[in-house]
Amino acid sequence: MNRIFITFILALFAYTTLYAQQDSIIKLETVTLSDVRLKNAADKTIIVKISDSILQNQNGSLTDLLRQHSTLYFKEYGLGMLSSVSFRGTNSSQTAVIWNGININSQTTGQTDFNNVGLGGFNDISVKSGGGSALYGSGAIGGSVHLQHKIDFKKQQTFNLSSTIGSYENYIQSGAFTIANEKSYFNGYVRHQAAENDYPFLETDLKNDNGEIENFSIGYNTAHKLGKRDVLKAYFSYFTNKRNSSRTISVPTKSRLDDKNRRFMLAWNRKATKTNYNIRLANLEEEFKYYENKRKKHLFSGSEVSTIIANADVDYKFSHKLKVKGAIDANLVEAEGDNIDKNIRRSIAGILSVNHKPFKGFAYNLTARKEATNTYKIPFIGSFDLNYKPLKWYKVGVNGSKNFRIPTFNDLYWEGLGNPNLLPETSYQASFNQFFTYKKSSLQLAAFYIDTKDMIKWTPDESGEWHPQNFVNVKNQGIEATLQTELRYKKHRVHISGTYVYVKAIDQETDKQLIYVPLHKFNGNISYHFKKVTAFYENVFTDAVFTDGNNSTSLLSYSVSNAGISCNIALGENTFTLSGKVNNIFNKKYEVVISRPMPNRNFLISIHYKYN
C-alpha cells in the first residue's frame, strides 16, 4: 500500500511537470508565504490571525502574545521558564508548531517550548484549530501554530531599533532592517533579552530566586525572483536561551537549562497558469544541556538532535472548480544524548488532496496521507472539509480527520526508562464551524469532539520509576468562539477582540478531567486609537485546573489584566514611538503551575525608532 500510494504521488508530479511546460506564464504574487498548505486551508477551518500592529509592538514573549490573543492555554513554570501549550484540552506534544511550512516540534520531547522561540524572525502568526496530521504529520491533533515571514516584493527600505526596560532588571534590545524591490527581498533581525526576574512571591517573604534568564536570537529572511515565474527563498534562525530554574514556594534550586536552536531552509516556488510547485529543504539543529548545579559547569547532561527535511508540493488546477495537490515529505532525524543512545529515524510520506467547488457557495476538500518509517507502522490517515456559504455574511462548515502522534526519542529510548514497544497515538475528531461577517466585524464559532486512543503517558511502576505506556483513552469536547469588531468615528477608532473556549477532556479510564486543562478560558482586548496615540486594556480569565489525576487538588481560577499606552512622533521619514505597559495591574496573586507563583504588578517602558 505504501509503495502504491507514493508511486501515485510521484506519477502525479511527473505528469504535472510535463504538462506545466505548456502552461502560459502568469505574474508572480507580490506577497509570498512558504506555508502553502495553510493558505489552502485558510477558508475551511477556524483560524485566528495575530494582527501586524500587535506583532510590531510586542515586547514580551511568544507565550504572552498567544495567551492573550488566542484560545491556547499555556502551562508556564514561572515567568520565562518552560512553557507548554494545551490546544482544545490536548497535551503539549499534540500541538504542531509550523515554521514557514515545516514542523519544528522537538524530536526528543515532542513539543515546542514557547519561551524557546525568539520573536523577530516572523511577521505573520496564525493559530489553526483542529487536526492537521494529514498535512503536517505527527503531533497536529489539537491544532497548529504557524509562524511565517511574509515576503513583500515592493520597493522599501526600513530600519527598526527598539529598547525596553522593565521591572526586575528586565532589558530587551532588538533591531531589524528590510531592503527590497520588485525582484529582491532581504530582512535581517537581532534580539537580546536579559532579566534578573527576581519578583516577590505575594503574601510571602520569598522571591523568585534563581530565576535569571538571558536569550539571544539572530536571523534573516531573503528571496529573489528568478525570471518571471520562479522565486528562490532562504530562511535562517538562531536562538540561544540560558535559563536558571526558578525556585518553588517550598524548594530552592541551583539548576540551569541551556538551549540552542538553529534552523535553515531553502524554498523554491514556480507558478504558472495551472500549476504551482513548492520545494523546501531544511536543516534543524537542537541542543539541550541541564546543570543540576549551575556553578559546576563541567557537570551536565544533555542531548543533540539533527533533522533534515525535504518536501515538495505540486498544485494542479484542472478548472476554476477543481484543484488537485500532491506532496511528498521526507525526514531524516539523528538524536544522541547522555540518556539516549544514538538513534536514527527515517520517514517518507505521500499526500494527496482534492479541492472541488461544484457550485457557487459550496466547496469540499479531501486529503489522504500515507507515511512509512524505519521504526514502526504508521496508520493511514486523512481528513475532509465541507463548507457552504448560503449568504454573503454567513458560512457553515464541518470537518473531520484521523490524526496521529509518533513516540518521541525520549519515549522510546530514554536509558533504562524508555519503552521501544510504544504504538503511535491515533485520534479521530470532528468539528462543526460557523462564520459570521459584517463590515469590520467577524464571529467564528466551533463545536468540536476529539477521541484519542493509545495516548502515551508516563506513569510510575511498583518501584517508583516512571515509564511511558500506551493505555489512556481520552475524549475531548467543547466549543470555541472568536470575535473581532472595529468602530470608527472621524479620527477615533476602537478595536475589540476576544476569544472563549470551553473544554471537557475526560480520561476514559478514571472518568476524570485531565490535569491542567481549564474548563473555561476567556480573553478580551480593547484598544483606542486617536491620531498618534493608542491605549489598550487586555484581560485573561483562566478557570481552575486540577493538578492530580484524581481531581482532588486544584489551582484557583484567576483573572489577570494588563494596560498600556503609546505615542508616535513623526519627523520626516523617522518615527519614534514611546510606550508604557503595566502587567497584572490589579496585583493579583496567582499560579499557573502549582507552587510556582507568577509575577505581581510590573512595568515595561519602551522606545522604538523606525526609518521608512
* 313-325 pLDDT tens trace: 999 999 999 999 9
140 falls in which pLDDT band (50, 70, 90)?
Answer: confident
pLDDT at 34: 66
Q: Compute the average pLDDT of residues 234-261.
A: 95
15: pLDDT strictly greater than 70? no
Percentage of residues in the chain with pLDDT exceeding 70? 92
Q: Compute the average pLDDT of residues 455-462.
A: 78
Residue spans of beta strands (DSSP E) within 319-424? 322-337, 343-359, 362-373, 381-391, 394-405
339 falls in which pLDDT band (50, 70, 90)?
Answer: confident
Among candidate residues 297, 349, 294, the one with its CA nearest the CA of residue 37: 349
Whole-angstrom CA distances from 524 to 87, 280, 352, 363 are 18, 38, 39, 33
- ∠ at Cα 18 (13, 22), nearest 5°? 130
Secondary structure class of 489 (helix, strand, coil): strand
User: Quick one: which H or E segment has residue 560?
Assistant: strand 558-571
46 falls in which pLDDT band (50, 70, 90)?
Answer: low
Q: Report d(CA 196, CA 180) in Å as an integer.
A: 39
335 falls in which pLDDT band (50, 70, 90)?
Answer: very high
Residue 106 CB burial class (10 angstroms; 0-12, 13-18, ≥19): buried
- Asked whether 29 and 371 are in contact (CB, 8 A), the reply is no
Q: The C-alpha cell of 289 is what?
A: 544541556
17: pLDDT strictly greater than 50? no
Whole-angstrom CA distances from 76 to 73, 197, 255, 356, 405 are 9, 14, 17, 42, 23
Distance from the first to the final alpha carbon of the chain: 56
pLDDT at 20: 44
Q: Compute the average pLDDT of residues 197-218.
A: 96
pLDDT at 119: 85
- Asked whether 145 and 130 are in contact (CB, 8 A), the reply is no
pLDDT at 467: 84
pLDDT at 466: 80
- Which pTM was predicted? 0.91
Largest CA distance in the chain: 76
273 falls in which pLDDT band (50, 70, 90)?
Answer: confident
Residue spans of beta strands (DSSP E) within 392-465? 394-405, 425-438, 441-460
Q: Report d(CA 223, CA 269) in Å as an integer.
A: 11
Give the phi and the psi of residue 66 in degrees, each rounded to 5: -75, -30
518: pLDDT strictly greater than 80? yes
4 falls in which pLDDT band (50, 70, 90)?
Answer: very low
One-letter amino acid identity for 142? G
Strand 184-195 and strand 213-226: the pairing is antiparallel
Give the phi and the psi of residue 46 in degrees, each rounded to 5: -80, 120
Whole-angstrom CA distances from 461 to 111, 466, 469 are 25, 6, 11
Among candidate residues 59, 55, 160, 120, the one with its CA nearest the CA of residue 609: 160
pLDDT at 228: 87
27: pLDDT strictly greater than 60? no
Residue 597 CB burial class (10 angstroms; 0-12, 13-18, ≥19): buried
384 falls in which pLDDT band (50, 70, 90)?
Answer: very high
460 falls in which pLDDT band (50, 70, 90)?
Answer: low
Q: Compute the average pLDDT of residues 110-115.
A: 93
pLDDT at 25: 42
DSSP 6: H
Q: Report d(CA 6, CA 368) in Å as an integer.
A: 11
Q: Report d(CA 544, CA 521) in Å as an integer.
A: 10
459: pLDDT strictly greater than 80? no
Q: Compute the average pLDDT of residues 479-503.
A: 95
- Asked whether 117 and 111 are in contact (CB, 8 A), the reply is no
pLDDT at 207: 96
Q: Compute the average pLDDT of residues 393-416.
A: 91
Exposure pattern of 440-475 as b/e (b: 16+ CB <10 Å)?
eebebbbebebebbbbbeeeeeeeeeeebbbebebe
Q: Report d(CA 406, CA 431) in Å as an integer.
A: 23
280: pLDDT strictly greater than 90? yes
Whole-angstrom CA distances from 113 to 61, 241, 348 are 11, 11, 26
pLDDT at 41: 61
pLDDT at 132: 87
Please state which of the ranges 16-20, 186-190, 441-445 shows the lowest mean pLDDT: 16-20
Domains detected in the chain = 2-143+153-611 (2.40.170.20)
- What tens digit of pLDDT does each residue of 51-86 get? 666 776 677 889 999 999 999 999 999 999 999 999
Among candidate residues 541, 590, 484, 519, the one with its CA nearest the CA of residue 68: 541
